[in-house]
């Protein structure tokens, strides 16, 4: 069991740790997209984008339409 739920809610430190990567969005990210561009990244490189729930499909589709390999994880899975 990991992860601490902040009683402060939005505006607290925990809420600002992971912020959505979508331009203009300041929402707390619940998901991480690990991806790479095969043309410029080697096999073991991964870029990470963070996404709030509404923006997850937008960011994921952006990469998917470019045929970039990607994995979607939850923040809990990558927060170690």
Site stretch for Zn ion (CB under 5 A), options 18-26, 38-46, 57-65, 67-75: 18-26
CB 68 within 8 A of CB 32: no
Q: How far is the CB of 20 from Zn ion (least distance, A)?
A: 3
Q: Across the strands, what pairs with 73? A: 32
**How far apart are alpha carbons 59 and 52 in whole angstroms?**
10
Q: Does 20 bind Zn ion (CB under 5 A)?
A: yes
Q: Does 19 bind Zn ion (CB under 5 A)?
A: no
Q: Footprint of Zn ion on this chain (CB under 5 A)?
A: 20, 22, 25, 27, 52, 55
């Amino acid at each position: 069991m990991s992860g601490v739920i902040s009683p402060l809610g939005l505006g607290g430190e925990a809420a600002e740790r992971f912020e959505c990567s979508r331009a203009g969005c300041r929402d707390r990210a619940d998901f991480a997209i690990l991806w790479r561009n095969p043309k410029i990244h080697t096999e073991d490189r991964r870029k990470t984008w963070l996404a709030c729930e509404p923006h997850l499909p937008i960011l994921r589709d952006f990469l998917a339409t470019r045929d970039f390999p990607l994995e979607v994880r939850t923040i809990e899975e990558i927060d170690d």
